[in-house]
Structure 1
Amino acid sequence: MPPNEPSRRQRLGSYVVIGLFCVYGVAQFVAADPQPWGVAAGWAAATAVVLGPIAWLARDRIPPERRETLGYVAAGAGVLVASIWLGVALAFAPSLFPYGPGFLVGVVLGWILVCLAERTVVPEQLRGASI
């Protein structure tokens, strides 16, 4: 196993936490009345269009050990932005709050779409190779 690669137990723990988060988002989405399908579809498309090329270029241009550090920074920035958005939405526009499940489901669907596109559409020679 390479020195910076997480153990199988750590990877499994990460997958369980992400899975539980996704199940929670889907439960909120199903419980929402009306279900925000338009918001979910919009966020799925936006996430796939924005994050797909960024992820592929980052994987191509940035070494693996540096990607991990930048991933932590991006996750921290995402949590900060989400916290601020939630605070502003609750303080000034409570009507935006019910669309949180649509946002979560849309981002997860967009991420899945990016992963599927990479595995099925992107040619093998472009995966991880210099462009």
Structure 2
Amino acid sequence: MASLSQISTAFSASFKPTLARSTRESSLKSVSFSITGKRFPSLTSRRFRVSCSAKPETLNKVCDIVKKQLALPDDTAVTAGSKFTELGADSLDTVEIVMGLEEEFGISVEEESAQTIATVQDAADLIEKLVEKKA
């Protein structure tokens, strides 16, 4: 049986991410782990996402603003993964959402950044980044 020091020195991992065009997520093709000569090829994944999750308070405010701007009923579920298009937003609605977010959080979102926002989580993460940069 291998000791812990042998395992930690022989451990290696590799993966080949490819960036998806429509999102900021990476599409992970394969993951290969090797520990003291043993391979685990069954460890594969279709998606690999690294994100900085926004604070729950920020996320809740963004959900409220999205509901308000889209005039959604109170019982409509808006979550971090909700896409604006799936909630019925068109490009004008998205601009209005961004304007509401700018007003609420006292920030300014550049047009280039605004175009990368597709989900509530994207908006919340961007807001936190801009608020932190402002401070």
| Length-normalised TM-score, structure 2 | 0.25
Q: TM-score, normalised by structure 1?
A: 0.26
Structure with larger RCO (C-alpha < 8 A, sep 6+): 1
Structure number having the greater strand percentage: 2
As a proportion of its length, which structure holds more helix? 1
